[in-house]
Structure formats: structure tokens, C-alpha cells
Amino acid sequence: MAATGSAVGLGNIWKFPYITGENGGGAFVLIYLLCIFLMGVPIMMAEVMLGRRGRRNPVDSMRYLAEEMGHSQLWRFLGWLGVVAGFFILSYYSVIAGWAISYVFSTGAGTFAGADAELVGQHFDELTKSPLTLIFWHSIFMVITMIVVARGIEDGIEKAVRFLIPALFILMIVMVLYAMTTSGFADGLRFMFAPDFSKITTEGVLKAMGQAFFTLSIGMGAIMVYGAYLPKETSIAQTSFTIAIADTSVAVLAGVAIFPIVFSNGLEAGSGPGLIFVTLPLAFGNMAFGTFFGTLFFILLVFAAWSSSISLIEPAVAWLIENKNFSRIKASITLGLLTWVVGLGTVFSFNEWSYIALFDNTPLQGKTFFDVLDYLTSNIMLPLGGVLMAIFAGWLMKRTACEEELAINETAYLLWHFLVRYVTPVAVMLVFLNAIGVFS
């Protein structure tokens, strides 16, 4: 449950639709789905397994496992890679979650009732052009996240997730039902599901892979930390598969709800990070009981972001507690403050620093601080972390240890082993090489 709470978040509802829109739709979705099931699920199984055997924060789990299996202590850097990735992801995640909080209030106040595309767009622009407002909501989100982390009340979250995800699911279905009544429904479906490979770039393939890792929360130790709490008798394969299905369903429903609204209102599918904040209020503004559904939707979205954000910072918190003798409270405050400061870079990416002259004539030209952070973490650090976990599990763990942990039948085991041992490392490598232009 907690891992599902980690997986389902802004990645599904905010990021998946907007990067699908930016990368041409169907072909991107298809590659994303392949990455989820051929790489995501086997790597998630590997990560949970490492966590359950390591039983510590990711850095020390890797150190311990490397020692147990007689391998280099350098493996602890894999843990580090994850700790750093989680920290950077949270810094921008919190800013976007802040947008969602602000939309709880604006939707609740009836701002979007009967609104047209122009008004909704204007509202979003005004919000993002105001650094102080963004800082305010970002601060609120960081505080509520760190309170849960500081008190170590993950079981509270776990209970919340039990009704939260189903509720979110039902609300997404309500949105899809609304989308079905709009004139752009067929176009929306075509955009999402009819692959047009001429629209996919080498960069798009890298992003589809990065999104698969991001949305499943794999490759950075968050799932490893939860694996450490997983009871011995729980099936790792079944758990991983269930999480992947739940996570993918929410993302696909979000897409099916959003693209019809895009096409019915003549909006731009590739308009970027604001996509759901423009399309969904439009839908709520024009459907029956829209203020109610809209407010509820944004509340659930904030909760979903919240249960993800806790897992982003938990590896770092656990490391400080276990290694630097920090109390849980002190670790949470320190990391919360640091994350908040780095988050300011994302806040300014949407206004003061929307153009960074420093990046001119470099490969980063035209990118913002937020773009760079997001790119590095999702598309490089997570796949790299994930593939190193796959390599560790597939090549360095003893077979008896793997079999004991996974406890699946022979055929399933062989399939998993083949995927982590050969398919994932080769695939990630090819996608990386492709992205830097080796094959073109």
C-alpha cells in the first residue's frame, strides 16, 4: 500500500499527460508501456528484494549486500545516487504539489465555474508568474511532508492510501465519463493510442524510459526502503505487478480524461507542465457538480503527491539517522530546509529565471533550472540506478538468495532473471547511446 502511494502521484496525473503531449502521443505511450513491463516490473522486483535483504537505508543496504555477496564496497555509491536523486526530485515535486494545493482553493472558490480556455489559462499564468505565491504553496507542501517524515507515521499514510487511491481512481473515471461527452473524445483517444512513429525522437525514447522509472518510483532506493519493511511471506512478484498495474491505470485514465479536453477546446497538447492545470479546471468548470468534483480531485491529487514525497526523502532521512546520529526530527528539519532552498530554483524557473543566459551555446540552451533537474533525475539518474540494481540482482546476488526471496515458480524465475540480467542493462545502454546520438 505504501509503495503504491509512492508510485501514484504527480508523475501519473501531471507529468505523464504533459510529456505524452510534448512527445507526440501514441508512439510515446507504447514505448512507455513497454518500459513499464519489460524493465520497470523486473527492476522493481529486484529493488524490493535488495531492500528486504538489506534492511537498512539504501546506502547501507548496498554496502551490506555487497559484503554478504563478497563484492566491492563501491556499491554503496548506488545508494548515494538514489539519495541524491530523491532529494532533487522532491525539490521540484514540492513546487508542483504547491500548484495543486493552490488549485484546491481556487476550484473550491468556484473560480472556474463556466470558465473558458482563456480565463483558465490566465489563472495559471498569473499563479506561475508570481514567485511569492509559488514560494508560499511550496513552503506549505514542504512543511506537511516533513511533519509526516519527522513523526515517522508512515502507517498513517498507509491507512490513508487505502482509500485514497481507490477514490482517486473513481474520480478519474468520472473525468473520463465527462471527456466522453466532449467533441474531442475520438481525437483524444487517437492521439493517445494510435502510434505514429514519425513523431518520436531519440530524446522521446529516453523520456519514455525515464518516465517509466519515475512513475514507478524505482531506481533510487525509495522502493528499497519499503522493501525493508515487507514481511517475509509477502510475494514480491505479485506486489510489484499489482503496483505497476495500479500505477499505469491511473496514468492512462489521466491521459484519456485530458486529451479530449485539449482537442475539444483547441488547446495545445504539447503546452508543457501547465497542461492539467489548464485542461482539468476547464472540465470542472463545465460539468455538473464541477466545483465539488474539482475540489475533491485536487485534494486527492495533493494527498497522492504527499504520499510520494515522503518516500522521496525517506532514504536521505534514514541515512542521516543511521549514520550521523541525527534524531528523526533533526534529520527532517535539516533536509526539509535544504530541499526547500533548492526548490526555489524551480519556483523561479516559471518566472524570473524562465530564460537562463548562462546556458546559451551549451547543450542546455533554452532549458530552465527545473528542466535540467527533471531531465537529470528522471532520464539519467533513475534509469542508471535501476539498471545497477538489476545488474547487482542479476549477476552478483547468489541464485539461492534470489530464489529464496522471490519464491516464484521456475519459469517465472527464469524470465525475471533473463530480464534483469540481459534485457534491462542492454536496453538502458542502447537508449542512453541512442540519446547521445551514437546511432544517428
Query: Pick from 100, 50, 107: which is nearest to 76 by CA?
Result: 50
Distance of alpha carbon 76 from the chain centroid: 24
* R_g of the chain, CA atoms, integer Å: 21
Of 21-29, 143-151, 217-225, 359-367: span binding ligand PFF (CB under 6 A)? 217-225
Q: Is 312 in the site for ligand PFF (CB under 6 A)?
A: yes
Residue 61 has which C-alpha cell?
Answer: 543496504
Q: Which is nearer to ligand PFF, 290 or 386 (CB)?
A: 386
Of 103-111, 255-263, 307-315, 338-346: span binding ligand PFF (CB under 6 A)? 307-315
In the bound complex, what is the minimum distance in angstroms from residue 24's beta carbon to ligand PFF?
21
User: Nearest 5°: CA angle at 400, between 394 and 404?
Assistant: 100
User: Nearest 5°: CA angle at 207, between 203 and 212?
Assistant: 155
Of 7-15, 107-115, 150-158, 191-199: span binding ligand PFF (CB under 6 A)? 7-15
- Report the amino acid identity of residue 66: A
In the bound complex, what is the minimum distance in angstroms from residue 225's beta carbon to ligand PFF?
9
Residues 81-140 that bind ligand PFF (CB under 6 A): 86, 89
How far is it, in rounded angstroms, from Cα 96 to Cα 103? 11
Q: Is 7 in the site for ligand PFF (CB under 6 A)?
A: yes
How far is it, in rounded angstroms, from Cα 27 to Cα 33? 10
Q: Which is nearer to ligand PFF, 374 or 408 (CB)?
A: 374
DSSP track, 269-308: TT--TTHHHHHHHHHHHHSTTHHHHHHHHHHHHHHHHHHH
In the bound complex, what is the minimum distance in angstroms from residue 324's beta carbon to ligand PFF?
21
Residue 32 has which C-alpha cell?
Answer: 512507455
Q: Is 308 in the site for ligand PFF (CB under 6 A)?
A: yes
Contacts of 381 (CB under 8 A, 6+ apart): 81, 82, 84, 85, 219, 220
Of 165-173, 181-189, 212-220, 427-435: span binding ligand PFF (CB under 6 A)? 212-220
Q: Is 217 in the site for ligand PFF (CB under 6 A)?
A: yes
Per-residue binder mask for ligand PFF (CB under 6 A), 13-42, x = binder: ------------------------------
- Using CB under 6 A, pick the residue from 6, 295, 339, 349 that binds ligand PFF: 6
Q: Is 313 in the site for ligand PFF (CB under 6 A)?
A: no
Q: Is 386 in the site for ligand PFF (CB under 6 A)?
A: no
Residue 224 has which C-alpha cell?
Answer: 528499497
- Using CB under 6 A, pick the residue from 185, 214, 306, 340 that binds ligand PFF: 214
Give the number of residues in contact with ligand PFF, rule: CB under 6 A: 16
Residue at shortest CB range from ligand PFF:
11
Residue 122 has which C-alpha cell?
Answer: 490566465
User: Nearest 5°: CA angle at 127, between 313 and 14?
Assistant: 50
Site residues (CB under 6 A) for ligand PFF? 6-7, 9-12, 86, 89, 214-215, 217, 220, 222, 308, 311-312
